[in-house]
Amino acid sequence: MNYVKVCTLEELPNNSQKVVSLGNIKIALFHFNEKVSAIGNACLHKAGPLGLGEVSSKYNGLYITCPWHGWEYNIETGSAPPGFLDQQALYEVRIENEFIFISEEPIVKANKEHPDNPLLEDLIKLKYQTSENSLNILGISTTNLSSNLPRFSTSEDALEKSLSYAKEKYGASTKMVKLRDLEFRNCEGYYSQHSHACTWPCSITEMDAEDGMTQVYESMILWADILIVSTPIRWGNASALYYKMAERLNCVQNQITINNKVLIKNKVASFIITGGQDNIQQVAGQMMYFFTDLGFTFPPFSFLGWSRGWTAEDMDKNVLQFKKSEYIKRTSKEIVDNSIEVLRQIKNVNNANIHSPKPKRNDSLSIDIENKDMNI
């Protein structure tokens, strides 16, 4: 076995770690408890840079935690924590004349045992459930009402009206997702470490298929032809639940940036925005910006808006007035008519011809700056 000189002992004092190169391969080198050890730097999960993680004493030894999503490896053996079978590549270390050498080949090969989650197979393989003739209409209600105290929601009522109309008039398949009934985690911001740390399906979903966003991804990305999102206006913005969902959709948009892959194909979106007072236009603007960035198409007049003006503090009259409104009855149908009209037109559009003029990694102004310890 050949050994390669990688650095001096002085460059790796006790209680430290560093990333070194072995040809094209990056190695995470550790010096803890007066012992030097070396394992592959690319995490077996998504190739996160292990050498940039934190070493701590746990289970039966010293473990490095991957900075991207938290997988752990024993720094002396490369093995995963007890109960997991993953094995990171382990290299032999020799110290001669204050120089550190590592074996050219691993003495224990890397082996990934963590299978892809079978519950997520449709998402991983992008098994779309739409077809040329499908008419699947998904309503997502983002209002946050207490399930212990059922009460009237203007945004959800208008959404229900739209879905019933679509079913009755067009024979559409309809589905309602109420975000408040799903338990899902907040986006944990993996993207801010590295664009490749934000994965499809979302890293959180991948680690926990029971997370409620799995249902949103399946319904929105694979099943729906038309999406209607309803929100109340809260402090001039869409609801907190809407934003919580939007952040978790970062992984959909990010596929464009890192893989040039548009997941949303020939889908139409419209919106229902209701509030006691005002700010419909700002909420609509934000929603339209966000959903076009995912790849949705809008019909003309793509939202229903309801508010009663800045001075309408007599909230007790809001629902009464809403229920009487001819505008609501008419527009909850018209946004469906318009969405279906546009859907029929775009169904024949060859998606391959649609450009996604989003910034790519190569467009970055700092593309020439080397961040050499990151693997990707």
Say if CB 141 and CB 175 are below 8 A apart.
no
SS3 label, residue 209: coil
Q: Which stretch binds ligand FES (CB under 6 A): 68-76, 101-109, 162-170, 260-268?
A: 68-76
Rule CB under 6 A: choose which of 30, 32, 63, 68 binds ligand FES. 68
To the nearest whole angstrom, how small is the minimum distance from the Cβ of residue 53 to ligand FES?
8
Could you give the angle at the alpha carbon of 353 between the alpha carbons of 348 and 359, nearest 5°?
Answer: 135
19 or 176, CB closer to ligand FES? 19
78 binds ligand FES (CB under 6 A): no
Asked if 69 is part of the footprint of ligand FES (rule: CB under 6 A), the reply reads: yes
Q: Is 81 in the site for ligand FES (CB under 6 A)?
A: no
Q: Which is nearer to ligand FES, 80 or 340 (CB)?
A: 80
Pairwise CA distance, residues 206 & 335, whole Å: 35
CB of 70 to ligand FES, least distance (A): 6
Distance (Å, whole) CA 99 – CA 78 = 22
Contact 141, 230 (CB under 8 A): yes
Instruction: Map residues 118-147 to x or -, x wherever contact with ligand FES holds by CB under 6 A.
Output: ------------------------------
> CB 176 → ligand FES: shortest distance, Å?
34
Give the binding-site size for ligand FES (rule: CB under 6 A): 10
| Binding track, positions 36-65, relative to ligand FES; x by CB under 6 A | -------x-xxxx-----------------
**Total number of residues shown for the chain:** 376
For 44, 246, 294, the CA distances from 268, given in Å and listed in that order, are 38, 17, 11
Q: How far apart are CA 79 and CA 81, in angstroms?
A: 7
Nearest distance from residue 206's CB to ligand FES, in Å? 9
| Partner residues linked to 39 by β-bridges | 28, 90
**Nearest approach, Cβ of 189 to ligand FES (angstroms)?**
14
> In which element (H, E) is residue 255 found?
helix 250-259
Task: Identify which of residues 48 and 78 has a Cβ nearer to ligand FES in the complex.
Answer: 48
CB 31 within 8 A of CB 12: yes
| Contact with ligand FES (CB under 6 A) among 71, 73, 242, 303 | 71
Listed in sequence order, the DSSP H helices in 268-310 are: 280-294
Q: Which of 61, 70, 81, 212 lies at the binding interface for ligand FES (CB under 6 A)?
A: 70
Q: In what order do the strands lie in the sheet with 268-274?
A: 173-178, 136-141, 226-232, 268-274, 303-306
User: Interface residues with ligand FES (CB under 6 A)?
Assistant: 43, 45-48, 66, 68-71
